[in-house]
Amino acid sequence: MAAAPVWSVDPRTGKQREQVAVEATAQEVDAAVRAAEAAREALADRAVRAAFLRSAAAGLDAARDTLVETADAETALGQVRLSGELARTVYQLRAFADIVDEGAFLDVVIDHPDATATPPVPDLRRYKVPLGVVAVYSASNFPFAFSVAGGDTASALAAGCPVVVKSHPDHPALSERVAEVLRRAAAGHGIPEGVVGLVHGFQAGIELIKHPLVAAAGFTGSVRGGRALFDAAAARPVPIPFHGELGSLNPVLVTEAAAAERAEEIGGGLAGSMTLGVGQFCVKPGLVLVPSGGAGDQLVKSLADAVAGTDAGVLLDHRMRDNFIAGVAERAELPDVDAPVTPGEGGEHSVSPGFLTVPAAKLTEEGDHDLLLEECFGPVTVVARYADEQEAKAVLSRLPGNLTATVQLSSQEAAGQGRGPELLAELTPLAGRVLVNGWPTGVAVAPAQHHGGPYPATTSTSTSVGGTAIERWLRPVVYQNAPEALLPAELKDDNPLGLPRRFNGRLER
């Protein structure tokens, strides 16, 4: 049987733009993985791979106009949004190059023998080494930042791991163009182009996770797809780490005092966050707890006014559009659910934003309304109206893990008065990032960033954004009583590479 063609599709019209490739066969997946494995040695030199990352960033920057134009044609996300996302991706590559140069990620620890310790300590030298070939599964909603040159790829290459990327069907043409930029950058530093492999097709993704030379995987996508790959990674004869970002409701709690102090500001901010990117952000606030009556009503009115004034938009593909319309309709039919602004069809190829309201009491116990506690991808959120603090707390106690959790506090609560500290403590077990008086959309690329959370937000405790994302692709190894002449340069006493390390209990910079 001939391999199925891979088409680039315009979501604004639903029409095919061009045939980009064909779906990869098992043999082609095997070839891509073996080519990546063959490139491992070329990544061993930290100076070379830091230079490679910087050249990749420069190449993406140089091709900005063409790449953004292609991305917009395939995703309808708009050139302004996509230009910002590409700039973020370029910055991330350069940030990882700096991390590689610094070398602290190697976590070098040297302990000389101590016969007086109980028990005696031998000569121990520890650092971290790359795992091997990493499988990267691209996301639909971030064609740059979580795709071929995104955080998983950048951090894996920085760790010294080649990658094979399974492209997302929503932007195959862009995937090919970005992969070509990375391969040219690699070749410029004597690194085989196979260091960044690219395969297309659903079955190719399955073959990739099963390949014996794949040592770890990174995924951003749905709970259903991510869990299937997670289970496949665990079921291998040799299980491998699977770092998956699967789904998140990103709850927001608005206190009564905050609503009384700035109802209109919170309502407008929520509208902007939930409709940003046509509601296609993994950190979109999908459940908002708002007090019943009084200032809570004013907040909901402000939200309604702002959402009603927001234009319809095009989702990434027609399958997502159909799922959004069906998901909203199913939720709206539940008892006691109202739609102050009805989300749904905005045109033949677009959707209009909106939100639903429900008494929070309906969410405190298991039942049909649990559907409202599941993520609905697109420009919609659920506003749960709570009667008192205990009712809000009961809803929060039923939520699964999330990428983010947000609390909107009054100025006095934010200063430590009232329940401010208590609420922060209550939200901490729910998410990897807890926000105060802000909105979760927008994930800064910074050393302290954490983009992850308890399951099902992610399948591990790691982050996919920020400098510590590199840790996912490394493992520690200790040499005991190894003669100095046999040790890698990173572990020699005289520190010829000038690495940050802990030497006999002292932190050396």
- What pLDDT, on a 0 to 100 scale, did the predictor assign at position 63? 98
**pLDDT bracket for residue 418 (50, 70, 90):** confident
Residue 70 has pLDDT above 70, yes or no: yes
Per the document, the length of the chain is 509
Q: How many CB atoms lie within 10 A of CB 86?
A: 22
Q: How many CB atoms lie within 10 A of CB 267?
A: 25
**Angstrom distances, CA of residue 178 to CA of 172, 288, 353:** 10, 38, 32
Q: What confidence score (pLDDT) does residue 348 get?
A: 87
d(CA 376, CA 353): 12
pLDDT of residue 76: 96
Give residue-wise pLDDT tens across range 273-329. 999 999 999 999 999 999 999 999 999 999 999 999 999 999 999 999 999 999 999
The tokens of 352 are what? Answer: 């209009």
H or E stretch at 51: helix 46-62
**376 Cβ contact partners less than 8 Å away, ≥ 6 residues apart:** 286, 324, 327, 328, 331
| Per-residue pLDDT tens over the stretch 93-111 | 999 999 999 999 999 999 9
What angle (nearest 5°) sits at the alpha carbon of residue 101, between those of residues 95 and 105? 80
User: Dihedral (C-alpha) 402, 451, 476, 206: value to the nearest 10 degrees?
Assistant: 70
Cα→Cα distances 456→60, 114, 149, 402, 434, Å: 33, 45, 25, 7, 17
Structure tokens at 217: 């995987």
Q: Which amino acid is at 117?
A: A
Beta bridge partners of 508: 501
Q: Which amino acid is at 239?
A: P
Round to whole Å and give the CA distance between 413 and 70: 47
Active site residue ranges: 245, 282
Dist. CA 60–CA 86, nearest whole Å? 8
- Asked whether 324 and 315 are in contact (CB, 8 A), the reply is yes
What's the mean per-residue pLDDT of the chain? 97
Contact between 279 and 380 (Cβ < 8 Å): yes
| Distance in angstroms (rounded) separating the CA atoms of residues 247 and 281 | 10
Closest C-alpha among 435, 368, 433, 442 to residue 406: 435
Number of helices (H) and strands (E) in the chain: give both, helices first. 14, 21
User: What's the rounded mean pLDDT across residues 238-253?
Assistant: 97
All domains of the chain, ordered by start, with CATH? 19-102+128-246+460-473 (3.40.605.10), 251-436 (3.40.309.10)
How many Å apart are CA 28 and CA 50, to the nearest integer? Answer: 29
Instruction: Answer whether residue 1 shows pLDDT above 80.
Output: no
Q: What are phi and psi of 276, to 5 degrees?
A: -60, 130
Work out the average pLDDT over 121-141: 97
Integer Cα distance of 499 and 509 in angstroms: 7
Annotate 240-296 with DSSP letters as a single string: --EEEE-----EEEE-HHHHHHHHHHHHHHHHHHHHGGGG--TT---EEEEESSHHH
